[in-house]
Amino acid sequence: MTATAAPPPPAPLLEVEGITKAYPGVLANSDIAFAIRPGAVHALLGENGAGKSTLVKIVYGLVRPDAGRMRLLGAPYAPASPAAARAAGVAMVFQHFSLFEALTVAENVALGMERPPPLRRLAGRIRAVSAAYGLPLDPDRPVADLSAGERQRVEIVRCLLQEPRLLIMDEPTSVLTPQEVEILFGTLRRIAADGTAILYISHKLEEIILLCESATILRGGRVVAGCDPRRRSARELAELMVGRIVQPPARAAAPAGAPVLEVAGLSLPAAWPHGRALHDVRLAVRGGEILGIGGVAGNGQDELLAALSGERPGPAAAVRLDGRPIGALAPAARRMAGLATAPEERLGHAAAPDMTLTENTLLTAAGRERLVRHGLVGWRRAQGFAARIIAAFDVRTPGTEVAARALSGGNLQKFVIGREILQRPRALVVNQPTWGVDAAAAAAIRQALADLAGAGAAVVVISQDLDELMELAHRFAALNEGRLTPARPVEGLTVREIGLMLGGAHGMQAARPAAEGVPA
């Protein structure tokens, strides 16, 4: 009896050969080659600055390569624009949502289409496609009323209406709850089963192992490995990405002593129509302690940081630093007093896109680092401070005079966090410190935060990454609808208790705070 030969593997959907792209002082991609077959979920991995963003921009028609070629379904493929890429069957869901909050779901979808049908007909198509792929959406709802997960559904459905052959997803789970991640993965598996290939970019390596069947790993703009991530551990993948062993941060023992940063009875109305009001927020953080604050996006994280930074001043006594009321002070005065902050939005809030790294040091460090004296900028001193940040935090950049927008997201994040930490603040409040950052950079940032606390500073980390908070923090609190739960020690905290806190169980009693002499 003759054995039946196995069917040949399907021809690649996308083939990339010899793709090279250089910018002044940076070789972003060098001789990149890989292939994706129809229906595959293929991971693109690499540390920040490895060349992932440049590569997917080339595939999506946002950037033209200097050399190399691509083939789509066997035919030459060289899109001159995203519109050309979409016409060829390539769609992309970006890390940052491009939605207008004042418009409905259907209106937002129409804006992303070349020739949208009438809204009533489009609404019907949105309902049908969203139901078919397990992404329920009401096309008539304003985007302002949607959660982060629902907003991502809008972006995905907008792509699916194009019936793409290849779907590129850039950090799709960075703002999702664990439940929303499960829903997303189910949808992506369904999309792949229908024959659409998915090119998946993420720094969450456990997710890569769960979802992806193949991976291309970049380092320094070159392909260094290809593998089946399901046969690798997260640590092995991280080491392939960075070329060295990645160690988790060493957390110091819980401190004792008086609080350094205190917030009591902080209430503020919403600053804009779709914003979130803060209600009686209370917290206290000792020197040497890290307080982790978790919560789903849109529950008041940005508003809390603005209230602590001084962008939205309130009653003087609502915020205290080393016992001194600072709640009515402006941001510059709070920084001089020793309270540093780093917002979630890197480009445009934490850093000015068109200013150089040297110029960006002036935004928060002008006073504490004495970069401005008698109204005159000390450019040499500012440049030296920028160089210190670059060296201490391994910021991949040609130099201090590069514009902030030229850095990859992860490298800009390292610069922003480093700028605040190197000022040696008494207290530091950071929102999403490792969002979009690779495993090695995330470990370095977390270690720097732990070291700052170890040197006696009070640190507040606001993050949607629960693993990050459990790894770093001594105590945990949850923000829900502008209300903060009492803080509880991380040790012994169960997943169920964390879920209750994230869901708004504000009446839960903090464990042992009274005995420790610190208000919850």
Classify 37 as helix, strand or coil: coil
Return d(Cα 324, Cα 95) in angstroms, integer.
40
What is the predicted pLDDT for the residue at 249? 67
User: Residue-wise pLDDT tens for the chain (520 aa)?
Assistant: 555 655 666 789 999 999 999 988 789 999 999 999 999 999 999 987 789 989 999 999 999 999 999 999 999 999 999 999 999 999 998 877 788 888 999 999 999 888 889 999 999 999 999 888 888 899 999 988 887 778 888 988 999 898 999 999 988 876 676 677 888 898 899 999 999 999 999 888 888 999 999 999 999 899 999 999 999 998 889 888 877 766 666 666 667 678 999 999 999 998 877 778 999 999 999 999 999 999 877 789 999 999 999 999 989 999 999 999 999 999 999 999 999 999 988 888 999 999 999 999 999 999 999 999 989 999 999 999 999 999 999 898 989 999 999 887 778 999 999 999 999 999 999 998 987 777 778 888 999 999 999 999 999 999 988 888 988 999 999 998 899 999 999 988 887 788 788 876 554 444 434 333 444 4
Q: State the burial class of residue 120 (Cβ atoms within 10 Å of its Cβ: 0-12, 13-18, 19+).
A: exposed
- What is the number of residues in the chain? 520
Q: Is the dihedral of CA 53, 58, 60, 62 positive or negative?
A: positive
Classify 276 as helix, strand or coil: coil
What is the predicted pLDDT for the residue at 520? 40
Per DSSP, the chain holds a count of helices (H) and strands (E) of 17, 23
Return d(Cα 518, Cα 520) in angstroms, integer.
6
CA trace torsion 198, 199, 202, 204 (10° rounding): 50
Classify 156 as helix, strand or coil: helix
Phi-psi region of 119 (alpha: psi -120 to 50; beta: other; left: phi over 0): alpha
Q: Which residues pair with 169 in a beta bridge?
A: 93, 200
Q: Kindly give the pairing relationship between strand 166-170 and strand 90-93.
A: parallel
Supply the pTM of this predicted model.
0.70
How many other C-beta atoms are found inside a 10 Å radius of the C-beta of residue 233?
A: 12
Residue whose token pair is 């979802």: 211
Return d(Cα 120, Cα 126) in angstroms, integer.
10
| Tokens linked to 270 | 């919403």
Classify 492 as helix, strand or coil: coil
What is the predicted pLDDT for the residue at 519? 42
> In this structure, are residues 27 and 221 in contact, taking their beta carbons and an 8 Å threshold?
yes
Q: Which residues pair with 283 in a beta bridge?
A: 263
> In this structure, are residues 90 and 168 in contact, taking their beta carbons and an 8 Å threshold?
yes
> In this structure, are residues 423 and 188 in contact, taking their beta carbons and an 8 Å threshold?
no
> According to DSSP H, which parts of 393-512 are helical?
409-421, 439-454, 466-472, 495-502
Cα 472 from chain centroid (whole Å):
17
Q: Is the dihedral of CA 350, 351, 352, 358 positive or negative?
A: positive
| Tokens linked to 474 | 């001594």
Amino acid code (one letter) for 14? L
What is the predicted pLDDT for the residue at 203? 82
Classify 232 as helix, strand or coil: coil
Residue whose token pair is 């979130």: 276
| Tokens linked to 8 | 């040949």
What is the predicted pLDDT for the residue at 122? 95
What is the predicted pLDDT for the residue at 512? 38
Return d(Cα 5, Cα 2) in angstroms, integer.
9
Q: DSSP assignment, residue 434? A: T
Return d(Cα 270, Cα 453) in angstroms, integer.
31
**Which domains are delineated in the chain?**
14-242 (3.40.50.300), 259-516 (3.40.50.300)
What is the predicted pLDDT for the residue at 2? 55
Residues 6+ apart with CB under 8 A from 282: 263, 264, 265, 266, 484, 519, 520
Which of these, 472, 360, 437, 485, lies nearest to 52 by C-alpha position? Answer: 437
Q: What is the 3-state secondary structure (H, E, C) of 70-122?
A: EEECCEECCCCCHHHHHHHCEEEECCCCCCCCCCEHHHHHHHCCCCCCCHHHH
Q: How far is CA 512 from CA 374, 487, 490, in A?
A: 50, 10, 12
What is the predicted pLDDT for the residue at 64? 96
